[in-house]
Amino acid sequence: MRQPDSFNHNALMQIICQLHDWENQHLELAHSQAGRYLYLNIVKQLQGKAEGPSALLKGIYYNKDLSERALRYKLREFENQGLIAFEASTTDKRSKRILPTDSLVQTMADHASAFDQLLGKEFLVLPKNKA
Protein backbone atom coordinates (compact mmCIF):
# COMPACT_ATOMS: atom_id res chain seq x y z
CA MET A 1 0.00 0.00 0.00
CA ARG A 2 1.33 3.42 -0.95
CA GLN A 3 1.96 5.81 1.93
CA PRO A 4 0.57 9.34 1.43
CA ASP A 5 2.98 12.19 1.00
CA SER A 6 3.56 13.46 4.54
CA PHE A 7 3.21 17.16 3.64
CA ASN A 8 0.03 16.67 1.63
CA HIS A 9 -1.47 14.39 4.26
CA ASN A 10 -0.78 16.84 7.09
CA ALA A 11 -1.97 19.82 5.05
CA LEU A 12 -5.23 18.04 4.15
CA MET A 13 -5.82 17.05 7.76
CA GLN A 14 -5.30 20.69 8.83
CA ILE A 15 -7.81 21.84 6.21
CA ILE A 16 -10.35 19.26 7.37
CA CYS A 17 -9.94 20.48 10.96
CA GLN A 18 -10.21 24.14 9.93
CA LEU A 19 -13.32 23.41 7.85
CA HIS A 20 -14.83 21.59 10.84
CA ASP A 21 -14.14 24.68 13.00
CA TRP A 22 -15.71 26.94 10.35
CA GLU A 23 -18.77 24.69 10.18
CA ASN A 24 -19.15 24.76 13.98
CA GLN A 25 -19.07 28.57 13.93
CA HIS A 26 -21.11 29.31 10.79
CA LEU A 27 -23.18 26.25 9.86
CA GLU A 28 -25.60 25.83 12.74
CA LEU A 29 -27.91 23.59 10.72
CA ALA A 30 -25.21 20.91 10.62
CA HIS A 31 -24.49 20.79 14.37
CA SER A 32 -26.43 17.56 14.85
CA GLN A 33 -25.80 14.32 13.00
CA ALA A 34 -29.32 14.42 11.52
CA GLY A 35 -28.91 18.07 10.47
CA ARG A 36 -25.53 17.42 8.86
CA TYR A 37 -26.85 14.35 7.04
CA LEU A 38 -29.92 16.20 5.80
CA TYR A 39 -27.95 19.25 4.65
CA LEU A 40 -25.29 17.22 2.83
CA ASN A 41 -27.86 14.88 1.29
CA ILE A 42 -29.84 17.82 -0.10
CA VAL A 43 -26.63 19.40 -1.42
CA LYS A 44 -25.59 16.11 -3.04
CA GLN A 45 -28.97 15.68 -4.72
CA LEU A 46 -28.94 19.27 -6.01
CA GLN A 47 -25.56 18.93 -7.71
CA GLY A 48 -25.81 18.30 -11.43
CA LYS A 49 -29.61 18.18 -11.66
CA ALA A 50 -30.70 18.93 -15.22
CA GLU A 51 -34.41 19.02 -14.37
CA GLY A 52 -34.07 21.83 -11.86
CA PRO A 53 -33.02 22.65 -8.33
CA SER A 54 -34.83 20.12 -6.17
CA ALA A 55 -34.16 16.95 -4.20
CA LEU A 56 -36.41 13.95 -3.76
CA LEU A 57 -37.84 13.69 -0.27
CA LYS A 58 -37.95 9.90 -0.38
CA GLY A 59 -34.19 9.80 -0.98
CA ILE A 60 -33.60 11.44 2.40
CA TYR A 61 -34.88 8.57 4.55
CA TYR A 62 -32.41 5.88 3.51
CA ASN A 63 -29.99 6.12 6.42
CA LYS A 64 -29.36 3.16 8.69
CA ASP A 65 -27.81 5.31 11.44
CA LEU A 66 -30.62 7.84 11.85
CA SER A 67 -34.26 7.32 12.70
CA GLU A 68 -36.97 8.47 10.34
CA ARG A 69 -38.37 10.49 13.25
CA ALA A 70 -35.10 12.44 13.65
CA LEU A 71 -35.03 13.19 9.93
CA ARG A 72 -38.68 14.30 9.89
CA TYR A 73 -37.96 16.62 12.82
CA LYS A 74 -34.96 18.13 11.03
CA LEU A 75 -36.96 18.54 7.82
CA ARG A 76 -39.60 20.52 9.73
CA GLU A 77 -36.86 22.54 11.39
CA PHE A 78 -35.25 23.36 8.03
CA GLU A 79 -38.65 24.34 6.66
CA ASN A 80 -39.44 26.53 9.70
CA GLN A 81 -36.04 28.24 9.35
CA GLY A 82 -36.87 29.08 5.73
CA LEU A 83 -34.13 26.87 4.26
CA ILE A 84 -36.37 24.57 2.23
CA ALA A 85 -39.88 24.35 0.83
CA PHE A 86 -41.80 21.35 -0.46
CA GLU A 87 -43.44 20.81 -3.82
CA ALA A 88 -45.80 17.95 -4.63
CA SER A 89 -44.90 15.93 -7.68
CA THR A 90 -47.09 16.60 -10.70
CA THR A 91 -47.00 12.92 -11.69
CA ASP A 92 -47.21 11.19 -8.28
CA LYS A 93 -49.13 13.01 -5.54
CA ARG A 94 -47.55 10.74 -2.89
CA SER A 95 -44.12 12.12 -3.75
CA LYS A 96 -42.66 15.48 -2.74
CA ARG A 97 -39.61 17.38 -3.83
CA ILE A 98 -37.43 19.54 -1.59
CA LEU A 99 -36.81 23.00 -3.00
CA PRO A 100 -33.93 25.01 -1.59
CA THR A 101 -34.71 28.60 -0.70
CA ASP A 102 -32.37 31.49 -1.43
CA SER A 103 -31.21 31.20 2.18
CA LEU A 104 -30.06 27.58 1.73
CA VAL A 105 -28.45 28.38 -1.61
CA GLN A 106 -26.52 31.22 0.07
CA THR A 107 -25.51 28.90 2.92
CA MET A 108 -24.21 26.37 0.40
CA ALA A 109 -22.27 29.09 -1.44
CA ASP A 110 -20.74 30.35 1.82
CA HIS A 111 -19.78 26.80 2.80
CA ALA A 112 -18.16 26.13 -0.59
CA SER A 113 -16.35 29.47 -0.48
CA ALA A 114 -14.94 28.75 2.98
CA PHE A 115 -13.68 25.36 1.81
CA ASP A 116 -12.19 26.92 -1.34
CA GLN A 117 -10.36 29.55 0.73
CA LEU A 118 -9.02 26.97 3.19
CA LEU A 119 -7.94 24.61 0.43
CA GLY A 120 -6.35 27.44 -1.56
CA LYS A 121 -4.03 28.31 1.33
CA GLU A 122 -2.15 25.02 0.92
CA PHE A 123 -2.88 23.75 -2.58
CA LEU A 124 -3.20 25.05 -6.09
CA VAL A 125 -6.78 24.31 -7.14
CA LEU A 126 -7.33 24.02 -10.86
CA PRO A 127 -10.77 24.11 -12.50
CA LYS A 128 -11.99 20.79 -13.82
CA ASN A 129 -11.34 20.48 -17.56
CA LYS A 130 -14.72 20.17 -19.26
CA ALA A 131 -14.21 18.46 -22.59
User: pLDDT tens digit string along 98-115?
Assistant: 889 999 999 999 999 999
φ, ψ dihedrals at 88, nearest 5°: -70, 145
Instruction: Look at residue 25 and tell me whether its pLDDT is greater than 60.
Output: yes
Amino acid identity of 7?
F
- β-strand 55-56 against 84-88: which pairing, if any? unpaired
CATH number for region 6-122: 1.10.10.10
CA distances from 90 to 28, 48, 71, 85, 87 (A): 33, 21, 24, 16, 9
Confidence of residue 91 (pLDDT cuts 50, 70, 90): confident
Contact predicate 7/111, CB 8 Å: no
Q: Which residue has the higher pLDDT, 72 or 5?
A: 72
Residue 98: its H or E element: strand 96-100
Mean pLDDT of 27-43: 90
Domain ranges of the chain: 6-122
**Mean of the per-residue pLDDT values of the chain:** 83
Mean pLDDT of 92-97: 78
**Cα–Cα distance, 129 to 73 (Å, whole number):** 41
Q: What is the pLDDT of residue 112?
A: 92
Q: What is the pLDDT of residue 19?
A: 92
Q: What is the pLDDT of residue 1?
A: 46
* Rg of the chain taking only CA atoms, in angstroms: 17
Beta carbons within 8 Å of 57's beta carbon, 6+ residues apart:
75, 86, 95, 96, 97, 98
Q: Which residue has the higher pLDDT, 49 or 27?
A: 27
Q: Which residue has the higher pLDDT, 78 or 54?
A: 78
Confidence of residue 74 (pLDDT cuts 50, 70, 90): very high
Q: What is the pLDDT of residue 54?
A: 65
